[in-house]
Amino acid sequence: MNTYEIIAKRICRLCGERGITPNQLSAAAAVPKSTIKGILNGESRNPDIATIKKLCDGFGITLGEFFSDPEFEQKTK
């Protein structure tokens, strides 16, 4: 699994944990729905850190919490 797929999977998991849809995340994070859709569908192969930070703000977590997922840690090995 590549990094972009892990990012998409993490976003989906966080949405599920919080009981929100990607559209609700879009509103909470002030990120266009099309941007989130592109990330989740693998169309956006390079989401920038500013976008991920906004998504983290929408989830109410830090960047560190977002990237402290075991899948990211396994990717570095």
Q: Cβ(10)–Cβ(71) under 8 Å?
A: yes
**Burial class for 41, CB neighbours closer than 10 Å (0-12, 13-18, 19+):** exposed
Q: How far apart are CA 71 and CA 50, in angstroms?
A: 21
Tell me the pLDDT tens digit for each residue of 21-75: 999 999 999 999 999 999 999 998 789 999 999 999 999 999 999 999 898 888 6
Architecture of the domain defined by 3-72: Orthogonal Bundle (1.10)
pLDDT of 77 > 60? The answer is: no
CA 4 to chain CA mean position, Å: 9
Q: Which amino acid is at 5?
A: E
| pTM recorded for the entire structure | 0.91
Tokens of 6: 């892990």
50, 63 Cβ separation under 8 angstroms: no
